[in-house]
Structure 1
Amino acid sequence: MDNNMLNPGLVSPPRNNNGKERRNPSITPRKFRRFFTPRSRVPTHISSARKALQDLAAPSVNNRYQTPDPSSPIRPSSEDHAQDENFDRITTRSFKRRKYHHTPDSSPCRPGLLSPIRSLHSSQENIDLDLDESEDDELPTLSNPAKPLVPLVSRGFAGQLAQRQMGGMPRAGRSYMTFPTTDWRVDTADFYTAPDDAYRNTSNEGPGNCVPFCVASCHTNDLVAVGDEEGRVRLLETNPPKSQQSFQTPHLMFQSHSNAIIDLCFSEDDYRLATASGDQTGRILDMMTQTPIAVLQHHTASLKQVRFQPGSANGSVLATSSRDGSIRVWDLRCAGKPVQDTLVHPEQREDSLRFRRPSPKSGCAINSLHHAHARTYRQVQQGTGVEREDVPSRRELPGRTGDVSVTALQFLPSGQEHLLLSACEADASIKLWDIRSVHSSRRGVPSALSATAPPSSHENWRPFGISSLSLNTDGSRLYALCKDNTVYAYSTAHLILGHAPEMSTRNGEPPRRRHNAVTHQGLGPLYGFRHNSFHATSFYVKCAVRPVRDGRSELLAVGSSDRCAVLFPTQERYFRDALSYTMSNLTLENSTIAASTGGQLPPAKNRANNCLSARLVDDIPIVRMGTPLIRAHDNEVGSVAWTNEGKLVTIGDDFLVRRWYEDRERAKDLRTMDEFGGRRWCAGWADVEPDWDVDDEED
């Protein structure tokens, strides 16, 4: 026997590579209890954290993905490979699925023991393992079993929307979806207004109320400007903080004209506000001081509309239209003579002199289009244009006989801002102008770039005027609100046919148009929007488009004489199939109507609600996908506007200004609840079919 073994003290202690003495690990009471505590004394209670870690242990995770398929790549390729000295590989040599347990006897996760361990180590170690052969073929029972996967088609609208966005369908071909994403009501059915969202326009000249005529929204904030019949401008905040004033209190109010304000428009930076009034003048107001900086006073009749030019003009160039039939283009950078503001009181005039506020200047008209929509000799020979002359009213000059009121203006987007669109009250023809071509003579009729043909249905009945023009987000579609209770959609690329270098911006600035050039012909409308609740009986009914921004879809809002506003979806994917179907059946339908009526008007029983559109025979598709916003107004809804946050503001002849929100649950509650307790009092909502509010579970 070795002496070192008899005398352990003579053996030198082992050392590490760094020369330090390596000592035996010390045994602490915690380590002793951990390794030498009998299993019978192990506590049966397991904490939730330890139980979660047990579910993530290697045996449980491996058992989830075991497969009996011999061709599986995770199985051993042969028996020899399975009989390796490594314990992990030895345990997988049996093709029979067994359970592997590394937990104490008292663990609730232990249903049995392993047969491979007993067969391999029973001859070397005296381990008495009880094996229940009846449990060898059973799978382990996990404490948190995995939940079955629910198909997207069974997850309601959200799942169907996700499935449609990823390009998948439940099965090949078309399938029915309870709330399909192609349903246009997804964009229009969520609007509502509450009693707190109404502002009553009161009079400042005496007791009572005054009618609001127009509304315009800012581009950079949530303010809207409302012009009334007394010439005052009110600024309302559509999204006020809770600590400040509500929508029912005006943010600011000031006098701008001595007569009614017909139209309003903000510049792109919202520092200037342009007004068009019935006192035959327009004003440019500085919104920082609410004082006029320019007065536009060259029209001879009441103004109809005013629009700022977009792009590089930066709020310095604008256009106005008037009842005298003229269009004028103004440049505020051209210096004019100072004028005396008659609306300023003597005390305010002294304050202006004290603070050195400059007096407003007279606006400089750099271009004038007189008789913009009068009939030319060629139109008279061709039988197009106005069928009868415009008779002046009692208060107008007799010399205005024959003047056609220009009721709508619209600049094309930035890049083509030198092009101006106009419409009149006499017919549904839209003209395209190049404002760089100077027309200052009052003699003769100016020549436009192009003029669209009115709908052919008007030729069989009578002409109808246009009261409002609006462009969509990218400027590819032009919407014209016509007095035949239809909103026509035009393609801006087809406003002029043939070679049109004036509309091209590829090679820098487009060339100027030659003087006295021939007016080209443009295409008519592509299709139209109609609804049973949409009727335009006055020129105060306007339209507005909500642009695509911050995930909000594009919508077309129009006023109506039926005491409501109507929303139309403008995404053509909603009604592409309807357009193709209508075009294929349009010829047959028109021939049937003409044969049944003998070329005359349809029977009186088909003229529901005195609808003029029922008397027209259309040659274009008509889309009837619209949602009326009901119960909010008690009289005609005129002007409408969209805020920069996507809210809708409507004004009516009932002296109310309404603010509309989007909320699916609130709109659904207002539609489905009853009148008990006045829960619907002074509220409004989007009116859709009853099947829209039915849940998936009820289906």
Structure 2
Amino acid sequence: MLHTPSKSPRVALAPKTNTLDTPHSIGALQPKAISFLPTPPADRKLKRRITTEGNPLQKRLKLSQRYEDGSSSDSESDDDQFMQDVEEIQARSRRNTTFQLHTRLISGPATVCRRYAPSTTALLRSFVSSNKSDIFKCNSVGPDTYLTPPYACSYSHGAKAGRVPLLAVATEQGTVHVLNTCKRQDWDPESSRTTFQPHNNGIFDIKWNQDDSSLATCSGDQSIRISDVQTGDTTAALHGHTSTVKCVAWDPSNSSLLATGGRDGAICLWDLRTGLGSLQDVDLTATKPTLTIYGAHEDTTIKSKSKPRRGKHQHAPRTVTALLYPESQPYGLVSSGSYDGILRYWDLRKPMSSKKFKSTKSVMPTELYCSPVDPATIHGSKRPRGIINLASGSGPSAGVIFAIGTDSRIHTYDLPTLTAQRKTFSHQNLQTSTFYVGLSVSSCGRWLACGGSAKRGNSFLFDVENAGRPGSTPEQGIELKGQAGDIGAVDWAQDTLATCLDDGIVRVWRPDVETYSKCLKTPEESQWDWLWST
């Protein structure tokens, strides 16, 4: 009698596993057990990996620490070590799409467990600026002066994504210049720029909408203007503040919604699709805000318009200095003030109407929570210190809010709790006495730039890739020096940084290892053509 093989699935899987039926159940057709585990070597002692000194790819490189103290050397060994550090950083960057490194957005708090990334300070040192092709002048519209100081600047969303680097610059005279800051040769002329005049007063903030078709500008004339980028025409005039408008932010989920903050202490929310309470503004129909949060950073729980009292002195309102929409919190708005380092988070959704409470008054946004502690007091300050500007992290720094304060420190906060951390970024030459010092995070989320004051003519770069990792130590910042006047506004495009100077000059910085190495070797000759970090 012939033996029929078993139809059990274990027989079919037997050649691929180490578990078989017994010979009695399968018979003579049983295959041999196949083991995929390697046989351990006879010598079980750990062996040290052999490296070849001539091949650097077989060595485990460690970034040099000789440049961390802010000093530089002209010796050949130091230059070779610097080049080796930069080559390693560039090799790692190429594996993650050069200079982009788009990491998925982390919506949770910043204090999550993540791997520490190697320092990119050596690459930040290689940022240089040409004295011929990286300079853009803000010409004055008046006959008395030749140049006018730029107060604010903003790169388009396309520039941050690697497309045409269009930079919008707003000046003290209310003029807007749209510049093409693409890299060019020293003998090439500047690309044609677009110039228009939305205000006749200083512009303190300027922002692009999501599709880069419009620009929002806020000015000392107490108004906000929406301008068409192609034609330069003003398409909307927004009136609702009673003092200088300091900051503006577009809602990333809806190009018709934006928020503004002013010196009057109020936050105004606007919807460009509505014309509530129309007013006449020259040839335009001015729009009133949809909602207004009065006294946003006052120590009161009720954010309503204050009524003056007879015979009592009214203190100056606490200015709203910066606004941002967190991408991980879709219906929220974060604001900062000039009085202290407390950030406030606002829920912009209207609560559901109740039949029990009927009122004709508009429903105010709810302040969900605020920072529990002023970070300046954590570092020994005896009084509160205000915040000048805010910037939200992205990619590897997602979940962190950076805030530059009047105490000359860049503080960090966690999202969504707004808890101030002990970790700060600072530099011995960083001073922030002026009210318009800018702060910006690069599109890759790894670098942070800020301006400086006290007539030093310097700006600063920081590696913030490990800012959201607990226990990491902030590294020493890089100082970009050699400019004239205070540095106010700064902003990033892809691997490009723009800085605005008080003398009416906008300067562009780019990473260039070869040029930087040449500047270190021949500083006296190179200073006529280039500026570089110190």
TM-score w.r.t. length of structure 1: 0.54
Higher Rg of the two aligned structures: 1
Q: 1:422-470: per-residue Cα shift (whole Å, max 9, x none)?
A: 01110010000012248x9999998511110202337751111101111
Gaps (5+ residues) in structure 1? 1-146, 167-179, 343-358, 379-397, 496-522, 580-622, 688-699
1:204 aligns with 2:141: yes
1:653 aligns with 2:499: no
Aligned to 1:451: 370
Displacement after TM superposition at 1:244 (Å):
11
Asked which structure has the greater RCO (Cα within 8 Å, sep 6+), the reply is: 2
Name the CA shift for 1:630/1:574 in 2 (closer, same or farther; >3 Å).
Answer: farther
CA contact (8 A) 1:153 1:163 kept: no
Name the CA shift for 1:360/1:165 in 2 (closer, same or farther; >3 Å).
Answer: closer
Name the CA shift for 1:275/1:460 in 2 (closer, same or farther; >3 Å).
Answer: closer
Name the CA shift for 1:675/1:307 in 2 (closer, same or farther; >3 Å).
Answer: same
Aligned to 1:125: none
| Cα distance in 2 for residues equivalent to 1:684 and 1:333 | 47
1:237 aligns with 2:180: yes
CA contact (8 A) 1:321 1:327 kept: yes
Amino acid at match of 2:449: A
Q: 1:222 aligns with which of 165, 182, 197?
A: 165
Name the CA shift for 1:573/1:472 in 2 (closer, same or farther; >3 Å).
Answer: closer
Query: Counterparts in 2 of 1:286-685, with a 5 A limit?
Result: 286-311=228-253, 313=254, 315-336=255-276, 342=282, 360-376=284-300, 401-413=315-327, 416-437=329-350, 448-452=367-371, 453-455=373-375, 456-457=377-378, 460-474=381-395, 475-495=398-418, 523-548=419-444, 554-561=446-453, 562-572=456-466, 579=473, 623-631=474-482, 633-643=483-493, 645-676=494-525, 679-681=526-528, 683-685=530-532
Q: 1:12-60: per-residue Cα shift (whole Å, max 9, x none)?
A: xxxxxxxxxxxxxxxxxxxxxxxxxxxxxxxxxxxxxxxxxxxxxxxxx
Q: Match of 1:433, SS?
A: strand
Displacement after TM superposition at 1:287 (Å):
1.5
| Cα distance in 1 for residues equivalent to 2:521 and 2:360 | 62
Name the CA shift for 1:271/1:541 in 2 (closer, same or farther; >3 Å).
Answer: same
Q: 1:82-138: per-residue Cα shift (whole Å, max 9, x none)?
A: xxxxxxxxxxxxxxxxxxxxxxxxxxxxxxxxxxxxxxxxxxxxxxxxxxxxxxxxx
Q: Match of 1:489, SS?
A: strand
| Greater strand proportion | 2
| Cα distance in 2 for residues equivalent to 1:421 and 1:376 | 18
| Cα distance in 1 for residues equivalent to 2:93 and 2:225 | 51
Amino acid at match of 1:254: F
Q: CA RMSD in A?
A: 3.5
| Cα distance in 2 for residues equivalent to 1:404 and 1:417 | 26
Amino acid at match of 1:462: R
Q: 1:585-616: per-residue Cα shift (whole Å, max 9, x none)?
A: xxxxxxxxxxxxxxxxxxxxxxxxxxxxxxxx
Q: 1:569-599: per-residue Cα shift (whole Å, max 9, x none)?
A: 01118997653xxxxxxxxxxxxxxxxxxxx
Aligned to 2:305: none
Q: 1:276-296: per-residue Cα shift (whole Å, max 9, x none)?
A: 000000101122221111111
CA contact (8 A) 2:262 2:319 kept: yes
Q: 1:182 aligns with which of 111, 118, 132?
A: 118
| Cα distance in 1 for residues equivalent to 2:92 and 2:273 | 55
Q: Match of 1:310, SS?
A: coil
| Cα distance in 2 for residues equivalent to 1:235 and 1:164 | 31
Q: Match of 1:448, SS?
A: strand
CA contact (8 A) 1:412 1:420 kept: yes
Aligned to 1:285: 227
| Cα distance in 2 for residues equivalent to 1:148 and 1:229 | 58
Amino acid at match of 2:172: E
TM-score w.r.t. length of structure 2: 0.70
Q: Match of 1:494, SS?
A: coil
Name the CA shift for 1:420/1:575 in 2 (closer, same or farther; >3 Å).
Answer: closer
CA contact (8 A) 1:371 1:446 kept: no
Amino acid at match of 1:200: K
1:193 aligns with 2:129: yes
Q: Match of 2:434, SS?
A: coil
Displacement after TM superposition at 1:241 (Å):
6.6
Name the CA shift for 1:399/1:575 in 2 (closer, same or farther; >3 Å).
Answer: same
CA contact (8 A) 2:400 2:467 kept: no
CA contact (8 A) 1:370 1:442 kept: no
Displacement after TM superposition at 1:626 (Å):
0.6
Amino acid at match of 1:639: A
Name the CA shift for 1:234/1:162 in 2 (closer, same or farther; >3 Å).
Answer: closer
Displacement after TM superposition at 1:681 (Å):
2.3
Amino acid at match of 2:321: T
Name the CA shift for 1:445/1:493 in 2 (closer, same or farther; >3 Å).
Answer: closer
Q: Match of 1:525, SS?
A: strand
Amino acid at match of 1:203: S
Displacement after TM superposition at 1:230 (Å):
0.7
Displacement after TM superposition at 1:187 (Å):
3.4
Displacement after TM superposition at 1:634 (Å):
1.1
Identity of aligned residues (%): 28
Displacement after TM superposition at 1:184 (Å):
3.4
Q: Match of 1:449, SS?
A: strand
Query: Counterparts in 2 of 1:79-94, with a 5 A limit?
Result: none
| Cα distance in 1 for residues equivalent to 2:232 and 2:492 | 23
Q: 1:310-347: per-residue Cα shift (whole Å, max 9, x none)?
A: 02x1x2000000100000000001135776554xxxxx
CA contact (8 A) 1:153 1:160 kept: no
Displacement after TM superposition at 1:163 (Å):
10
| Greater helix proportion | 1
CA contact (8 A) 2:195 2:232 kept: no
Aligned to 1:274: 216
Q: Match of 1:675, SS?
A: helix
Query: Counterparts in 2 of 1:6-85, with a 5 A limit?
Result: none
Amino acid at match of 2:148: C
Aligned length: 410
Name the CA shift for 1:660/1:441 in 2 (closer, same or farther; >3 Å).
Answer: farther
| Cα distance in 1 for residues equivalent to 2:185 and 2:514 | 22
Query: Counterparts in 2 of 1:43-192, with a 5 A limit?
Result: 150=55, 152-153=57-58, 156-157=84-85, 158=87, 182-192=118-128
CA contact (8 A) 1:479 1:490 kept: yes
